[in-house]
């Protein structure tokens, strides 16, 4: 039986909503898809990684187009979703360059965002039936 246009549109909308949820809250896409263990693992691990980066005095980079590497770091930071915006509003993530842990904090923040982007792609693959 062939999928109708309405089915494909609904399926595409569902896929994009799952991906949006997966980006906004780490692991939420997997939780909505019924993969509870994976979803909780991603939620806990990525959130702790992000919080560790803040605790280590890492910097949440601003988007500065004139400095491409800073802009890329900012996009990577934003990959964690809503926690990025909450931390930014709370004034966290200013980064203290003289702190011994500054670079480690940056690494944790950037990697948490990038890993969440991979989790979003995994949720996308699941909704497409590839996994």
Query: In which band, very low, low, confident or very high, does the pLDDT at 131 lie, cut at 50, 70 and 90?
Result: confident
Q: What confidence score (pLDDT) does residue 107 get?
A: 97
For the whole model, what pTM was predicted? 0.89
pLDDT at residue 52 is higher than 70: yes
- Gyration radius (Cα) of the chain, Å: 17
Contacts of 96 (CB under 8 A, 6+ apart): 57, 102
Give the DSSP per-residue string, 58-104: -B-----TTSHHHHHHHHHHHTT-HHHHHHHHHT--B--TTSTTHHH
DSSP-derived secondary structure letter, 81: -
Mean pLDDT of all residues in 50-69: 95
Contact 23, 120 (CB under 8 A): yes
- Domain boundaries along the sequence of the chain: 5-127
CA 15/CA 34 separation, integer angstroms? 14
What pLDDT sits at residue 10?
56
> 90 falls in which pLDDT band (50, 70, 90)?
very high
Tell me the average pLDDT of the chain.
92
């Amino acid at each position: 039986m062939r999928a109708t246009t309405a089915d494909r549109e609904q399926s595409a909308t569902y896929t994009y909503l799952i991906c949006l949820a997966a980006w906004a809250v780490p692991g939420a896409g997997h939780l909505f898809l019924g993969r509870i263990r994976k979803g909780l693992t991603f939620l806990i691990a990525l959130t702790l990684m992000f919080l560790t980066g803040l605790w280590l005095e890492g910097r949440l980079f601003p988007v500065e187009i004139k400095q491409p590497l800073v802009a890329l770091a900012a996009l990577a930071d934003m990959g964690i979703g809503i926690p990025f915006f909450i931390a930014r509003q709370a004034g966290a993530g200013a980064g203290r360059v003289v702190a011994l842990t500054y670079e480690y904090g940056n690494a944790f923040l950037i990697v948490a965002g990038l890993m969440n982007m991979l989790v979003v792609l995994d949720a996308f693959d699941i909704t497409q039936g590839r996994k």
